[in-house]
Amino acid sequence: GENVEQHPSTLSVQEGDSAVIKCTYSDSASNYFPWYKQELGKRPQLIIDIRSNVGEKKDQRIAVTLNKTAKHFSLHITETQPEDSAVYFCAATTSGTYKYIFGTGTRLKVLA
């Protein structure tokens, strides 16, 4: 069945450093890849997404890259701040399935 693997499960970085989270998907037909941020006790919220016809997308300090050949995509956060501390989830979906497969999450800690 479809699967999304996410690494690492936990990540600690110093404030101002960069953080990278990687996900690998199994369904080669997947065409939409969102990233969600979930702060403690809060609901997941979309922070960035990418479609399969695009290789990279940036939004201020956040960027996502997609490698369709290798079937993996990554979240890059630059100049990390304490408020970036949260759990980040990647997901993948395939057109026509109406089903999102989520990774198991990465707990990011930004140390001041």
Partner 1 sequence: KAGVTQTPRYLIKTRGQQVTLSCSPISGHRSVSWYQQTPGQGLQFLFEYFSETQRNKGNFPGRFSGRQFSNSRSEMNVSTLELGDSALYLCASSLTGREETQYFGPGTRLLVL
Q: Which chain residues interact with partner 1 by CB under 8 A?
A: 1, 6, 31-32, 34, 36, 42-46, 49, 51, 89, 91, 93, 95, 97-105
Report the nearest approach of partner 1 to the CB of residue 15 (Å): 26
Beta strands in the chain (DSSP E): 4-7, 10-14, 19-25, 32-38, 45-51, 56-59, 62-67, 72-77, 86-93, 100-102, 106-111
Nearer to partner 1 among residue 52 and residue 65 (C-beta): 52
- CB of 112 vs partner 1, minimal distance in Å: 26
Torsion region of 70: left, alpha or beta (phi above 0 gives left; psi -120 to 50 gives alpha):
alpha
Q: Which residue has the tokens 């809060």?
A: 42
Q: Is the Cβ of residue 50 or residue 110 nearer to partner 1 in the bound state?
A: 50
Distance CA 43, CA 28 (A): 29
Smallest gap from Cβ 69 to partner 1, in A, equals: 20
Cβ distance to partner 1 smaller for residue 37 or 77? 37
